[in-house]
Structure 1
Amino acid sequence: MRLAFFSDIHGNLEALQAVLEDMEKRGIDRCYCLGDLVGYGPQPEEVVGKIRELGIPTIMGNYDDAIGFEKESCGCAYNPGRETRVGDESIKWSIANTSDTSKEYLRRLPHTIEFEDEGVSFLLVHGSPLEHLLEYVKPTTPPERLERLLEKAGSDVVVNGHTHLPMVRWIKGKLLFNDGSVGRPKDGDWRACYLLVDVNRGSLSYEFLRVEYDRKATIEKIAKAGLPAELSVVLALGEGYDMGSTGESNSMEFTL
């Protein structure tokens, strides 16, 4: 069974379309979206429409919650000052440019999805098994916390998003993945990122895939919409991060 997991599109339609096209070429059996369809980017309505049109199983992210319920904050750990103002401006703009129908869809998204394939059980969550929307599970998260999260999950494999940092951790016979970000990477690589997992009779192999897309088109749309220029800078640079501690590998196999 070939599975794909992606998240944190953040209104970047060009990146989403590129990832969906790449999945089609690779013969994906099923794909799942781990939330944050909206926020930051210039096309929240179109992204929601594409996910709905394709019927992709999707869970709620903190930005989906904020836009769907028209909140003033997404609950993100912004730095005080300009970063907070940019986030708040993005939320207000996204609320104003997302239809009531799409907001209702976002409000109805579940916080988790659980399933089993080929003898391997999966839990999908945006943040963590304990704090579904807001906890940042990072490469620097202590092993003791990871053990508690995986114990709470009770599944062989947990896949989350939220941090925009691709990651894999092997903790006491269980796997924890972060699928990176389609529309707003933060690991120094501007390309859209998603996670490919092959499962066969209790064995699992994975690969983080990077997909180029038309950044220029997205950046031009950000400017045309009047969104903060910082949002374009993040897409242009991939927002630098030390990849050495993420645990990311191009490909690896596990038996669960």
Structure 2
Amino acid sequence: MARYALLTDIHANREALEAVLRDLAGRRADRIVVLGDIVGYGADPAWCADRVADLAAKGAIVLQGNHDAAVDRPDGAMNAIARAAIDWTRPQLSAAQKAFLAALPLTACEADIQFVHASADHPQDWIYITGERSAWPSFAASKARVILCGHVHVPAIYSCDMTNRVQSQRITTGRPVPLIRSRRWLAVIGAVGQPRDGVPEAAYAILDTAANDLTFHRVAYDRAAAAAKLRAAGLPEPLALRLLNGS
């Protein structure tokens, strides 16, 4: 039995990552899991890569996201803003940092839990899970009772019952969602570094396998400082605005 702290989509946002790690220090977590996209969009890719590498050296599970992969292998599916940010990011990273990102796995499993950045079906294709229909292929592809992912930047949770009916479930920040054992579960963990659900605070979650529940958390951080760094670096203005308004 363990408590997993689930972080995803850090996106080179040092201020957000530091705030989440400070918040975690006040909550008992046995293991940290980083579900990918350590870099991209934000102004501190080198610092975030090193900080996550340090977490990995201390036992954290760390996966590769599409922005991490794009540092080594350009992704033609990215939009112009994402490509501009990756093109800026690439020379900011050392050879060792690039090698760390390139070597990260796409998925990991522990007991009846699967961790993945995007989706459990074809994780290398970076599929977005945005509703019940797009959640179903992950349930079909995985044998895990609980699937945990990121990529979408909007927190969500879906259940799949014994008749394979997938339903979206309500989330209340700070209130545990019971993971009823007669169902399977897929949760999209909100972004640490670039939330897009209209709430600009950094998002993460804690899975408690003893209590059999999942709790979503939000943490305030210095968004103005992070946005100022983006502007100083000459990164696209929409990236700074997105940090400020969370959408």
Contact 1:70 1:95 in 2 (8 A): no
1:132 equivalent in alignment to 2:132: no
Query: Deviation string for 1:147-179 (max 9, x for gaps)?
Result: 332131100100010000101111121000011
Residues 132, 158 of structure 2: 8 Å contact kept = no
Q: What is the alpha-carbon distance in structure 2 between the residues aligned to residue 70 and residue 132 of structure 1?
A: 16
For 2:191, the aligned partner's letter is S
The letter for the 1-side match of 2:120 is P
| Code of the aligned partner of 1:178 | V
Could you say what secondary structure the match of 2:240 adopts?
helix
Following superposition, the deviation at residue 226 of structure 1 comes to: 1.0
Name the CA distance, whole Å, in 1 between partners of 2:17 and 2:97.
Answer: 17
Per the TM alignment, residue 199 of structure 1 is displaced from its structure 2 partner at its CA by: 1.3
- The gaps in structure 2 that reach 5 residues or longer are 162-182
The residue type equivalent to 2:102 in the other structure is R
Whole-angstrom distance in 1 between the partners of 2:105 and 2:76: 17
Count the aligned residue pairs: 221
What's the offset of the Cα at 1:236? 0.5
Q: 1:75: how far off?
A: 3.0
> Which residue identity does 2:129 align to in structure 1?
V
Question: What do the CA deviations read for 1:6-61 (whole angstroms, capped 9, x no partner)?
Answer: 10000001100111111111011111000000000000010010011122220110
Equivalent residue for 1:219, pick from 227, 241, 244: 227
Cα distance between partner residues in 2 of 1:89 and 1:15: 21
Equivalent-residue separation in structure 2 for 1:74 and 1:34 (angstroms): 22
Task: Report deviation, 1:70.
Answer: 4.5
d(CA) in 2 for partners of 1:229, 1:162:
21
Matched, 1:57 2:49: no
CA distance in 2, matches of 1:169, 1:6: 18
SS at match of 1:14: helix
The 1:52/1:216 distance shift into structure 2, 3 A limit, reads same
The 5 A counterparts of 1:42-121 are: 42-55=43-56, 56-67=60-71, 69-71=72-74, 73=75, 75-76=77-78, 84-116=79-111, 121=112
Provide runs of 4+ in structure 1 moved above 2 Å: 73-76, 145-148
> What do residues 114-137 of structure 1 show as CA deviations (whole Å, max 9, x unaligned)?
002xxxx10001111112141001
Kept in 1: contact 2:8–2:189 (CA 8 A): yes
SS of the residue aligned with 1:123? strand
**How far is the alpha carbon of 1:3 from its aligned partner?**
1.3
| Residue matched to 1:28 | 29
Residues in 2 aligned to 1:125 and 1:54: alpha-carbon distance in whole angstroms: 18
Alpha-carbon shift at residue 141 of structure 1 (Å): 3.9
- 2:7 paired with 1:3: no
Q: 1:233 aligns with which of 234, 241, 244?
A: 241
Cα RMSD, aligned residues only: 1.3
Q: Percent identity?
A: 32
**Residues 16/186 of structure 1: CA separation in 2 closer, same or farther (3 Å cut):** same
Task: Give unmatched runs, 5+ long, in structure 1.
Answer: 77-83, 240-256
Q: Is the 8 A contact 2:194 2:243 kept in 1?
A: yes
Looking at structure 2, the residues matched to 146 and 216 of structure 1 have their Cα atoms a distance apart, in angstroms, of: 34
Give 1:163's aligned residue: 152
For residues 9-24 of structure 1, the aligned pairs below 5 Å read 9-24=10-25
What is the DSSP-based 3-state SS (H/G/I as helix, E as strand, rest coil) of the residue aligned with 1:216? helix
TM-score, scaled relative to structure 1: 0.83
- The CA deviation at 1:196 is 1.0
How far off its partner does 1:91 sit? Answer: 1.2
CA contact (8 A) 2:194 2:202 kept: yes
Distance 2:76 2:52 in 1: 21
Checking the alignment, whether the CA contact within 8 Å between 1:62 and 1:75 is kept in structure 2 is: no
